[in-house]
């Protein structure tokens, strides 16, 4: 029960109508807090005010607003006026207590209706939907259909409504509707939960069966994956161990090779030093020979030269023999290496043979077992009469055949894939052997050695020409880049220069902005010697420019002339032509303003930049001018620095343009940078620097362009020579029946092989996809077979079927193993034929070529030995002839012979060292080959190891242990047979779905229990709440009715107190006598009083912010009207009341009266307000 008046959050502050019904013109009503009365004659438009309130609050039915349709709410113009274009009503609510969730103190709701019947809603001027408006008003419990808005005739409806409708009003104010909504929502939720529980049960049953079927495949796949992971770990570890071992070998080879290289460098240095000594001795011999020749020993000199030449020839031949022996040693080493390779290939062949034998035995073993199992199965079926397997058994056999066929197809695809992989490897090997093929082509050309030598020389010349041409083209390209760079820099510098010149010109233009000064300069030739303005004649640093401009003030634009006569001519010229006024400073008359000693002392103080006259550069002849302009002015860093020196002591100007006069006046503030300052020294210097740079760039550009032109001439000349030489080469090649493509065939073939490899890769991927598809089909066949087996199991003796299944499972395993063995045998045949056989053939060919080369070198050595013998014989003869002449020049010959012997000794020593160096070099080359081989093997291992990236390594086990385990694990994997790896993913997904469904079912069960508990709670609370609210409203109703009707009493009665929500609520009234009557038996006035008592009883329980009542007192007499008026007056402190009435008793109680009248000819209503 509400004992205290609640605090209301809002009220209607204003109602504005424009074009609505009879309010064709804009009409505004300002409502007060308390009792507002609207009065006027019938038909004046009083009720239209209430209609406007309901309209703007969102009432959707036009008929309830006393109009056929929404368009009829618009003012129709009457007899003489034009109809309104639209009807608009705005209502304003107080929001000082923030009842509405907006920041404004007033919430204005507007509704506009157009002739087409479409309504538009606004909140504080912004367009919103009707629902948004209703929702906002609902926050303050404002409803156009609420019990606080009573339309004309509605007061009786409160009494005459059905008992159920009356009960529903109590439910509403008691908040039961909230519980009903919760209950309905709970019922719907319960229905959904039940439906979901049923669905979850069905799905769970299905998933559980599927999960059970998948578990076996999953376990098998898990075991397979575990074995596969172990194999990967062991293989990765095995490869890593081999890589570490190989890396150690490589490091050892590199170490040995580096040691040999250092030794080779040492030997080569020693040879170089000895050759230097030989050169010295040869010079000595030449000097002696020249002396002998000068003394007449020409014949001796001739003999000496011949003997020397013979010795040189013999030494050359010995060198060639040593070189050839070195080549023979290299060939012998290569042959030994090839023999080792052949031995390895033989071992591979033996290994393949052993493996083939082992697999053949395995195949026979599996075939014998399959044959034996077939006999056992046949015998078992006959013994136990299982041949009558019927249609299902036939389907199983058909699936078995299809599965075997599919397995064979998969195996065939794998074989083709392996064949492609081998072909890809073969092509890659052939690419690596291209260099050997090129050598082979060159050896075929040795049949035309002389001609080809000439051709090779021409080709070498052609190659050099091409290189030279390429070099010239590269230089041309470099020159082009440099020229482009110079042009770019030149363009950039020119642009900068133009900008600076424009800036400089802008300063000059500003300086000559004064029309008088401008005209004087234009006519300077006629007027006499004019030097320029003060600003033009001085240059300064940019940082001092503003300070000096302020210091100079107007003098900055003064024109400096030669003498007073020129100044006079200029003044007369300006006066005559009316060009204005200008200041002139004649050099012969101007008096300087010397710097005072005390001011010079001030320049030493902190913050002083210097004397203004010292901060500007000018021609010495203008010294008096600038002394006059700046005099004793100091430039300081800031105004604070000026204050420290002392304002008034001297004229001071700051760097940012603040001025302190001698008079004590201080001028300053913010200044925009202007163009009227002195010429900037750095700007002038920058212009000069850029002009100089542009000049240099222009010169450099001309030089490079000339260099490029010369280069282009050379390029054109070389191109002509190249074309001519190319023609000769082609002509020679055709004469020899050769073609350039013969030498380039290998390169072309290499490109073809690369294309083949690309095709191999695509085909391998294609086969991989086909194998995956076929494996999926095979898996499906196995699933179908298992399904049929399950059907058979249901029809037969489980024990017999289990025994039969074990035979068939074993047969299946043996069949799968037999397929694998076949594949291995085919793989071995392919390896022996295509890889080992081809390697043997290639090795044999290389051996044959090496033997041919060895024989050629041996033959040449024999020829060299024969030549040495012949030349040695001739040398002996020459030496004997020399001995005869030796006596004449004994001393000289003795010295020369000594030098010659020393040369021979040194050369012999060099030959020994060179032989040693060749052996070391050969050793280095052998080690380099071995290093390359090891690197290639290591790279292969790295590539193989890369496929195991991320695999955990087990480096504790030995290589033998790892190999043994790999073989064991592979055998175990083979025994598992065909595995459906997708079962892992499928099982995991299905299990996850199953668990999710179980959780969901659990949650749904909990939700169901929660909903049931909520419904029980709602039913319990709803009745208690309803009864409690009814008691309060009934008590209020009885009290208010007693106040309104002194001669009677009334109360509210439930039709079914035990189950109040199944029936309604009646109003019982007793006016005279002892008998209570139903409200329908009352008169009109009595019904009105009863209805008002019921209305105010509700107000007591759940007050509204405002009440709008339309002629609710129409059926009341004067006494009852007075009672009603006093009752409303009592309630005015709890709510705002807007009442439409004709009754004087009610009108007399009002706080504000609103009189409504209408002009019949226009149909327009007007309102006049009056405070009581």
If phi > 0 it is left, if psi is from -120 to 50 it is alpha, else beta; for residue 1139 that is beta
Cβ-in-10-Å burial (0-12, 13-18, 19+) of 558 comes to buried
pLDDT of residue 358: 80
pLDDT of residue 235: 81
- What is the band of 900 on the pLDDT scale with cuts at 50, 70, 90? confident
pLDDT at 618 over 50: yes
- Secondary structure element (H or E) that encloses residue 534, with its range: helix 534-537
Q: Mean pLDDT highest for which of 207-216, 936-945, 1097-1106?
A: 1097-1106
- Secondary structure element (H or E) that encloses residue 1053, with its range: strand 1049-1054
Strand ordering across the sheet containing 149-150: 149-150, 1106-1110, 1136-1140, 35-39, 1152-1159, 1164-1171
pLDDT at 733 over 60: no
pLDDT of residue 92: 93
Gyration radius of the chain's alpha carbons:
61
Q: Which one is predicted more confidently, 722 or 821?
A: 821
pLDDT of residue 422: 66
How many H-runs (helices) and E-runs (strands) does the chain carry?
27, 25
Q: Which one is predicted more confidently, 165 or 389?
A: 165
Q: Please report the beta strands in 996-1048, taking only residues with DSSP state E, as ranges in sequence order.
A: none
For the ranges 304-318, 436-450, 619-633, the lowest mean pLDDT is seen at: 436-450
- Stretch 337-350: mean pLDDT, rounded? 77
pLDDT of residue 1053: 85
pLDDT of residue 745: 47
Using CA of residue 724, residue 725, residue 728, residue 733, what is the dihedral sign? negative
- What is the band of 677 on the pLDDT scale with cuts at 50, 70, 90? low
Q: Which one is predicted more confidently, 250 or 875?
A: 250
Please give the DSSP secondary-structure letter assigned to residue 433: T
Q: Mean pLDDT highest for which of 55-64, 84-93, 292-301, 523-532?
A: 84-93
Domains of the chain (ranges plus CATH)? 1-147+1143-1172 (3.40.50.300), 213-376+830-965 (no CATH)
Q: What is the pLDDT of residues 72-127, one digit of tens each?
A: 888 888 777 888 889 999 999 998 888 888 888 899 999 999 888 888 999 998 99
What's the pTM? 0.36
The DSSP code sequence of 104-160 is: SSEEEEEEEE-TTS-EEEEETTEEE-HHHHHHHHHTTT--TTSTTEE-TTHHHHHHH
- What is the band of 740 on the pLDDT scale with cuts at 50, 70, 90? very low
Percent of the residues in the chain that have a pLDDT greater than 70, as a whole number = 74
pLDDT at 240 over 50: yes
- Secondary structure element (H or E) that encloses residue 760, with its range: helix 740-795
For the ranges 141-155, 456-470, 957-971, the lowest mean pLDDT is seen at: 456-470
Q: What is the pLDDT of residues 1102-1132, one digit of tens each?
A: 778 888 888 888 778 888 888 888 888 888 8
pLDDT at 739 over 50: no
pLDDT of residue 742: 45
Looking only at the bridges linking them, the beta strands covering 1077-1078 and 126-128 are unpaired
- Which residues, in sequence order, are bridge partners of residue 211? none
For the ranges 504-508, 924-928, 970-974, the lowest mean pLDDT is seen at: 504-508
Is 17 within 8 Å of 73 (Cβ atoms)? Answer: no
pLDDT of residue 780: 77
- What is the band of 586 on the pLDDT scale with cuts at 50, 70, 90? very high
Q: Please report the beta strands in 715-836, taking only residues with DSSP state E, as ranges in sequence order.
A: none
Helix/strand/coil (H/E/C) assignment for every residue in 617-642: ECCHHHHHHHHHHHCCCEEECCHHHH
Whole-angstrom distance, CA of residue 372 vs CA of residue 366: 10
Whole-angstrom distance, CA of residue 575 vs CA of residue 570: 9
Q: Calculate the CA 999 to chain-centre distance.
A: 39
Residue 944's contacts (CB-CB under 8 Å, 6 or more residues apart) are: 239
- What is the band of 201 on the pLDDT scale with cuts at 50, 70, 90? low
The DSSP code sequence of 640-696 is: HHHHHH-BTTB-EEETTS-EE-TTS-EE-S-----S-SPEEHHHHHHHHHHHHHHHH
pLDDT of residue 4: 40
Instruction: Count other C-beta atoms under 10 Å from residue 53's C-beta.
Output: 22
User: Exposure pattern of 363-375 as b/e (b: 16+ CB <10 Å)?
Assistant: beebeebbeebee
Whole-angstrom distance, CA of residue 720 vs CA of residue 714: 10
Q: What is the pLDDT of residues 988-1047, one digit of tens each?
A: 666 676 677 677 767 767 766 776 776 676 666 777 788 888 888 888 888 888 877 767
pLDDT of residue 744: 46
Please, what is the average pLDDT of the chain?
Answer: 76
């Amino acid at each position: 029960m509400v004992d205290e008046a609640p605090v209301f959050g809002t009220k209607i502050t204003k109602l504005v109508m424009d074009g609505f019904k009879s309010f064709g013109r804009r009409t505004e009503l300002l409502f007060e807090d308390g009792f507002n009365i609207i009065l006027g004659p019938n038909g004046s438009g009083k009720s239209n005010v209430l209609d406007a309130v309901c309209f703007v609050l969102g009432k959707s039915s036009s008929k309830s607003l006393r109009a056929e349709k929404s368009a009829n709410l618009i003012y129709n113009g009457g007899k003489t006026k034009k109809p309104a274009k639209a009807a608009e009503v705005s209502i304003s609510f107080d929001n000082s207590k923030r009842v509405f969730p907006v920041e404004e103190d007033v919430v204005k709701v507007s509704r506009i209706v157009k002739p087409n019947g479409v309504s538009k809603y606004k909140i504080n001027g912004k367009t919103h939907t009707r629902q948004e408006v209703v929702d906002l008003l609902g926050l303050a419990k404002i409803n156009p259909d609420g019990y606080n808005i009573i339309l004309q005739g509605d007061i009786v409806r409160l009494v005459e409504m059905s008992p159920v409708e009356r009960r529903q009003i109590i439910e509403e104010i008691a908040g039961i509707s909230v519980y009903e909504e919760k209950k309905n929502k709970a019922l719907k939720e319960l229905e959904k939960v039940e439906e979901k529980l049923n669905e979850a049960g069905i799905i769970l049953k299905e998933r559980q069966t599927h999960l059970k079927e998948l578990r076996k495949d999953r376990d098998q796949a898990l075991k397979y994956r575990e074995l596969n992971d172990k194999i990967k770990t062991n293989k990765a570890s095995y490869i890593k161990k081999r890589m570490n071992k190989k890396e150690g070998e490589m490091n050892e080879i590199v170490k040995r090779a580096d040691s040999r290289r250092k030794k080779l460098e040492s030997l080569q240095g020693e040879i170089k030093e000895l050759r230097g000594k030989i050169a010295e001795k040869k010079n000595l011999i030449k000097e002696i020979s020249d002396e002998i020749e000068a003394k007449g020993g020409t014949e001796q000199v001739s003999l000496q030269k011949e003997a020397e030449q013979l010795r040189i020839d013999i030494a050359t031949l010995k060198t060639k023999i040593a070189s050839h022996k070195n080549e023979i040693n290299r060939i012998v080493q290569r042959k030994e290496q090839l023999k080792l390779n052949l031995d390895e290939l033989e071992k591979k062949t033996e290994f393949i043979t052993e493996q083939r034998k082992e697999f053949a035995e395995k195949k026979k073993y599996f075939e014998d077992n399959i044959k034996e199992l077939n006999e056992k199965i046949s015998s078992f079926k006959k013994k136990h009469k299982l041949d009558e397997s019927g249609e299902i058994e036939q389907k199983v056999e058909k699936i078995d055949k299809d599965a075997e066929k599919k397995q064979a197809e998969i195996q065939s695809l794998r074989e083709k894939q392996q064949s492609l992989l081998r072909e890809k490897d073969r092509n890659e090997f052939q690419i690596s052997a291209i260099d050997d093929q090129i050598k082979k082509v060159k050896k075929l050309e040795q049949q035309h050695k002389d001609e080809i030598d000439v051709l090779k020389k021409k080709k070498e010349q052609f190659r050099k020409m091409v290189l030279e041409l390429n070099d010239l083209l590269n230089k041309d390209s470099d020159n082009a880049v440099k020229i482009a760079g110079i042009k770019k820099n030149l363009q950039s510098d020119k642009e900068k220069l133009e900008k600076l010149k424009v800036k400089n010109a802008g300063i000059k233009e500003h300086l000559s902005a004064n029309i008088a000064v401008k005209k004087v300069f234009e006519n300077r030739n006629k007027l006499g010697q004019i030097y320029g303005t003060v600003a033009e004649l001085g240059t300064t640093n940019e940082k001092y420019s503003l300070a000096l401009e302020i210091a100079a003030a107007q003098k900055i634009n003064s024109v400096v002339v030669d003498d007073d006569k020129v100044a006079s001519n200029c003044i007369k010229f300006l006066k005559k032509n009316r060009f204005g006024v200008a200041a002139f400073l004649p050099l012969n008359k101007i008096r300087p303003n010397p710097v005072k000693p005390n001011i010079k002392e001030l320049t030493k103080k902190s913050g002083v930049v210097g004397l203004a006259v010292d901060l500007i550069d000018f021609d010495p002849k203008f010294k008096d001018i600038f002394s006059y302009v700046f005099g004793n002015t100091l430039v300081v860093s800031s105004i604070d620095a000026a204050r420290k020196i002392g304002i008034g002591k001297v004229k001071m100007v700051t760097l940012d343009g603040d001025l302190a006069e001698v008079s004590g006046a201080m001028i300053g503030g913010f200044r925009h940078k202007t163009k009227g300052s002195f010429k900037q020294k750095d700007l002038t210097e920058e212009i000069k620097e850029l002009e100089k740079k542009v000049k240099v760039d222009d010169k450099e550009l001309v030089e490079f362009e000339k260099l490029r032109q010369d280069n282009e001439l050379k390029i054109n000349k070389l191109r002509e020579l190249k074309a001519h030489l190319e023609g000769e080469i082609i002509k020679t090649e055709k004469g020899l029946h050769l073609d350039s493509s013969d030498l380039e065939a290998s390169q072309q073939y290499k490109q073809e092989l690369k294309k083949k490899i690309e095709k191999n890769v695509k085909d391998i991927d294609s086969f991989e996809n086909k194998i995956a598809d076929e494996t999926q089909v095979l898996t499906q066949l196995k699933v179908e077979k298992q399904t049929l087996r399950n059907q058979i199991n249901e029809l037969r003796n489980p024990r017999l079927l289990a025994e039969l299944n074990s035979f068939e499972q074993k047969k299946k395993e043996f069949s799968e193993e037999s397929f694998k063995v076949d594949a291995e045998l085919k793989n071995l045949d392919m390896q022996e034929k295509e890889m080992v056989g081809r390697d043997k053939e290639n090795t044999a060919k290389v051996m044959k070529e090496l033997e041919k080369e060895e024989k050629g070198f041996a033959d040449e050595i024999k020829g060299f030995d024969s030549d040495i013998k012949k030349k040695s014989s001739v040398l002996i003869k020459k030496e004997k002839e020399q001995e005869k002449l030796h006596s004449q020049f004994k001393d000289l010959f003795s010295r020369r012979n000594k030098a010659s012997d020393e040369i021979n000794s040194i050369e012999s020593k060099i030959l020994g060292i060179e032989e040693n160096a060749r052996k070391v070099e050969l050793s280095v080359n052998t080690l380099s080959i071995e290093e390359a081989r090891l690197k290639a093997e290591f790279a292969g291992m790295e590539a193989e190891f890369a496929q195991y990236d991320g695999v955990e390594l087990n480096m504790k086990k030995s290589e033998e242990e790892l190999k043994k385990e790999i073989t064991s694990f592979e055998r175990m994997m083979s025994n598992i047979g065909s595995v459906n790896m997708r079962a892992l993913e499928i099982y995991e997904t299905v299990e996850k779905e199953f668990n999710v469904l179980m959780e969901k079912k659990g949650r749904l069960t909990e939700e169901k229990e929660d909903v049931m508990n909520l419904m029980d709670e709602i039913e319990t609370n709803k009745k208690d709440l309803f009864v409690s609210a009814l008691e309060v409203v009934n008590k209020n109703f009885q009290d208010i009715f007693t106040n309104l009707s002194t001669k009677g009493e009334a109360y509210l009665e439930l039709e079914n107190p035990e189950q109040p929500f199944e029936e309604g609520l009646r109003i019982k009234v007793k006016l005279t006598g002892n008998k209570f009557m139903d409200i329908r038996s009352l008169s009109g006035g009595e019904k009105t009083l009863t209805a008002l008592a019921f209305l105010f009883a509700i107000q007591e329980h759940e007050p509204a912010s405002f009440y709008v009542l339309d002629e609710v007192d129409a059926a009341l007499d004067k006494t009852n009207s007075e009672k009603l008026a006093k009752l409303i007056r009592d309630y005015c402190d709890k709510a705002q009341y807007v009442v439409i009435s004709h009754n004087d008793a009610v009108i007399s109680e009002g706080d504000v009266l609103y009189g409504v009248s209408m002009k019949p000819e226009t149909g327009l209503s007007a309102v006049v307000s009056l405070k009581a």
